[in-house]
Chains A and B, each alone.
Chain A
Amino acid sequence: MASRIIGQSRKRLEDPPLLTGQGRFASDISFPDQLAMRVVRSGYAHGRIVSVDTSEACALPGVFAVWTADDVADLPPIDVRLTNIKGLAPYRQYVLARDKVRYVGEPVAVVFASDAYTAEDAADLVVIDIEELPAVLDAAGETGDFAPGLPTEVIVIEKGYGDADAAFKTAQHVVSLTLSVGRHSGVPLETRGAIARYDAKHDMLEMYGAAKVPHWNRDQIAIMLGRERKSINLYEGHTGGGFGVRGELYPEDVIACYAALKLGRPVKWIEDRRENLVACNHSREQTHRIRAAIDAEGHILAVEDEFFHDQGAYVRTHGATVADLAAAMLPGPYRIPAYRAVGHIRLTNKTPGGTYRAPGRYESTFARERLLDAIAAKAGISPVEARRRNLLQKADMPYDLRVDTLGTKVVYDSGDYGGLVRKAIDATGWQTLRDAVATRRKAGETVGVGLAMFVEKSGLGPYDDVRIELSPSGAIEVITGAASIGQGVETVIAQICAETLGAAFDTIRVTHGQTDRIERGLGAFASRVTVMTGEATRRAAEALRARLLAIAAPLMQTDATQLTVSDGWIARTDGSGPSMAIADVARSIDATHGASSEASFESSHMVYPYGVHVALVQVDRETGGVTVERYLVAYDIGRAVNPMLVEGQITGGIAQGIGGALLEEFLYDERGEPLSVTFADYLMPTAHEIPPMDIVISEDAPSPLNPLGLKGSGEAGVNAAGAAIAAAIDDALGMPGLITRLPVTPQRLKAALAAR
């Protein structure tokens, strides 16, 4: 029997170089004679470009070139990767603003100079004359014009099923709420970077600093520059966090590549933090007007939600993804007989939006779970009971939600939602917790508990390919088209390969994010890698194992069915006779190249993990400050390949969820000037704001859609954090329904309390 490696908390293969300062992040890559690139950005939220004067900048010693829109007039706007929805194209962004600027931070010109300090000096000398226009800043307010004939309402997404109108007419009660989530973003600790160079000898354009979706970006850059895709390679090094925003194709990436070609020197662009906060995708900002029709016992009869998604100034690579997911995933774990969602995707004069970890779900979970809390209050039952009464049952699985998203039908593949609530409640010691809260309240403290539930999605297809190469020395390389944004992909893939193949874990290296190593690849997003790449790896490893055993059988004078392989050694299942190293078998196949196998996994359905969040908070009535004292997430992942890494994903997500619930927000003044441009204004949680966290990993509902039963965990920690913390604050204050907006900053909470 092969030794168990899947399911073990193996230490990460990734760690040694990262711990010793040997990482290769974007800014660590340099080439001789490189030019430093600096982007000159709009200081106005909305305006007509009257002129751009680059003469002074050009005259500065050390400046090689300064470009404006005229210099990149050949380049088309950056295309949409996800959501094949018509009508988005006119709203895409050109790499440099043409006649108008539409947000503060929009690239208008770009400087290339001998070093970064000089480039920055020169950028300050570029004079941009702009005639200011009124800015649209509220996506839920009046719309404006993006361009003549193009309203700022890009598209309206509608999803639903059943007869909601009839349900609302006959309902015992109707519960209505207006809720909003602020503007947040992933804000990885490493800013973006792109280093491009052209190798004339091989007519090859190379870009380093790629992440997330290197193959798609390679193909897209090829189209934009009018080059053969085979004449461009993208290389992913270390990536300092992804969270949805890092690795999308941005204007700066394309400009760096184009400049390396045109200027004939390597070009290095490293974003600074201020730029990152105004130029890298924002996300989240939505306003929901949601209502539920319920009967006297609090059973849901119908849910209707109209929401406004603030997309910022342009449609970027994600297209309509965030709003689409918000509408599709809003129903969550509950039986909702009739449902209607209408999502307005609207442009404003703010930084363009994309996805951020649990896109659309952090928002719609907040809306739905606040609705469940309101239903509980209306029906006079506890929040937990309101959920129990409405949860889908195990027997309902698989459950066809009757909506689709990202080109797939939403069908919950497996789940025992009620069972997970019980686990969460047991793990928190619910009664003891409630008793402790009651005692502390008597002593004058303002403490409360909130609970929220969600269904996640993961493992977006349609395919992933893996090639495994076993060298004659016994070393194994797994080559995938996936990407790593710091989540431990190499370790997880190596574990699956080691166990399935019967190889030693430490003989495996995993290659990802290199477009010259594998023909195609979809990268890392939507918690897809463990599921899609994991299953492709299992298949390739299984095929290689079968091949090795077939070759070994005659050499070992037995039948392949009598053989097993473990830790790199083939032996008889009954333990008799000699054993043989897989390296020897590889050598006997081909003494120079060894053996290899390839496999693909195709899937047209996503898998649906699910979870429960419980938060304990304390509120300071004087200051409006909220302290999260303890946090629990129970999550059913189907099968955990490496529990330590799953927990790490969840605790990291919780921290981001707490940030979004209490601290983080991109604010603008009335002219559209961003107010959150440093880490002193965009507040992310530190070790102080993060409470002790308990993670319960459950494996009750393995996915029937892949043999290992895998589901993903990347977005579990963040998903319901806003909802659970809001509920806990309401509970602490004894004011159901008080929290309607995230983040709950001290100023806002004080104001809400004063208004009561």
Chain B
Amino acid sequence: MSEKTPITLKINGRDHKIAVEPRRTLADAIREDCGQTGTHIGCEHGVCGACTVIVNGEPVRSCLMFAAQADGKAIRTVEGLAKGNELHPMQRAFMDHHGLQCGFCTPGFLMLAVGVLEREPQISDDDLLDVLSSNLCRCTGYQNIIKAVRAAAAEMRGAS
């Protein structure tokens, strides 16, 4: 065991002052040290994308990043998507298009899709499919996830 260093994780606009070992992953720190359990861990080796969060505007796999690397950066997780009781268009689209079953992969897909669409609102359908194929879902067969993200993309474009 090595020494713990103090860091600040800014999650959804709130500061969490915590102390972590250098090896602690961002995913574990978000979940265990900051109590934000909406971010899920499906593999811990960077393949499934369930742990996707947005760090300084970029979707990242929080199981592949050390918590210390995110010190002071702006982190967004699924808990921050809705505004009060009003769901984000992406969340609503997942509900409308039955884009989730067990819901375990869902936070990762939501953050991936939101992160990419905010950065690149005009992304083509093909590129969007490429992006979505970097996360795994074992329940839905993806068809409804793709439908949901396309519908939300159209709405987000209209709104911006």
Contacts and interface: CB of A to CB of B under 8 A. Distances in A.
A692 interface: yes
Given A27-B37, A273-B43, A15 B100 contact: yes
Interface residues of B, number: 56
A653 B141 contact: yes
B136 A19 contact: no
Nearest to B87: A19
B14 interface: no
A15 B94 contact: yes
Contact of A652 (B101, B103, B134, B135): B101
A238 B100 CA distance: 13
B133 interface: yes
| Residue from A22, A121, A486, A647 whose CB has the most chain B CB atoms within 10 Å | A486
B48 A18 contact: no
A651 B102 contact: no
A558 interface: no
A141 interface: no
Given A11-B96, A19-B94, A644-B98, A189 B105 contact: yes
Interface stretch (B54-62, B67-75, B114-122, B142-150): B142-150
A655 B95 CA distance: 20
Interface in A160-207: 186-191
B77 interface: yes
A645 B28 CA distance: 33
A190 B87 CA distance: 24
B141 A655 contact: yes
Given A12-B98, A20-B81, A485-B102, A687 B41 contact: no
Contacts of B48: 189, 679
A272 B44 contact: yes
Contact of B44 (A121, A273, A656, A717): A273
A190 B42 contact: yes
**In terms of DSSP, what is the predominant structure of the interface of chain B?**
loop
Given A27-B37, A189-B42, A11 B102 contact: no
Given A20-B79, A21-B36, A23-B38, A187 B138 contact: yes
A22 B38 CA distance: 6
B98 A679 contact: no
A243 interface: yes
Interface in A22-48: 22-23, 25, 27-28
B38 A241 contact: no
B1 A20 contact: no
B52 interface: no
Nearest to A187: B138
Interface in B79-100: 79, 81-82, 87, 91, 94-96, 98, 100
A190 B134 CA distance: 17
A28 B139 contact: no
Given A21-B77, A28-B37, A648-B144, A656 B138 contact: yes
Interface string A658-698: 00000000000000000000111000111110101100000
Interface string A50-78: 00000000000110000000000000000
B23 interface: yes
B134 A241 contact: no
Nearest to A115: B32
Contacts of A22: 38
B142 A486 contact: no
B98 A690 contact: no
A365 interface: no
A688 B133 contact: yes
A487 interface: yes
Contact of A189 (B110, B138, B144): B138
Contacts of A21: 36-39, 77-79, 81, 107
A688 B130 CA distance: 7
A189 B139 CA distance: 9
B149 to A, nearest CB: 10
B110 A486 contact: no
A272 B28 CA distance: 13
A687 B102 contact: no
| Residue from A22, A27, A116, A652 whose CB has the most chain B CB atoms within 10 Å | A652
Contacts of A717: 141
Contacts of B105: 189
Contact of B104 (A189, A273, A644, A647): A189
B81 A651 contact: no
Contacts of A487: 101
Contacts of A20: 38, 78-79, 81-82, 87, 91
Contact of A121 (B1, B43, B79): B1
A488 interface: yes
Contacts of B31: 27-28
Contacts of A117: 1, 21, 23-24
A687 B145 contact: yes
Contact of B143 (A16, A243, A690): A690
A654 interface: yes
Nearest to A246: B102
A251 interface: no
Nearest to A11: B95
Contacts of B132: 687
B98 to A, nearest CB: 5
Contacts of B28: 116
Given A188-B102, A273-B44, A678-B43, A19 B95 contact: yes
A117 B21 CA distance: 10
B79 to A, nearest CB: 4
A480 interface: no
A425 to B, nearest CB: 22
Given A241-B138, A686-B134, A686-B136, A23 B101 contact: no
Contacts of B134: 686
A118 B21 CA distance: 11
A158 interface: no
Interface of B: 1, 21, 23-24, 28, 31, 36-45, 47-48, 50, 77-79, 81-82, 87, 91, 94-96, 98, 100-107, 110, 129-130, 132-146
22 contacts: A16-B87, A18-B106, A20-B78, A21-B79, A27-B37, A61-B1, A121-B1, A186-B138, A188-B138, A189-B40, A189-B105, A190-B104, A238-B102, A240-B102, A241-B101, A241-B104, A273-B44, A486-B102, A648-B144, A652-B139, A655-B138, A692-B143
Given A28-B31, A651-B143, 15 more contacts: A16-B95, A19-B95, A23-B38, A23-B104, A118-B1, A190-B102, A238-B102, A240-B40, A243-B138, A651-B144, A652-B140, A655-B138, A684-B138, A687-B142, A693-B143
Interface of A: 11-12, 14-16, 18-23, 25, 27-28, 61-62, 116-118, 121, 186-191, 238-243, 272-273, 485-488, 644-645, 647-648, 651-656, 678-680, 684-688, 690, 692-693, 717
Q: Which 3 A-B pairs have the closest CB atoms?
A: A21-B38, A486-B102, A18-B103
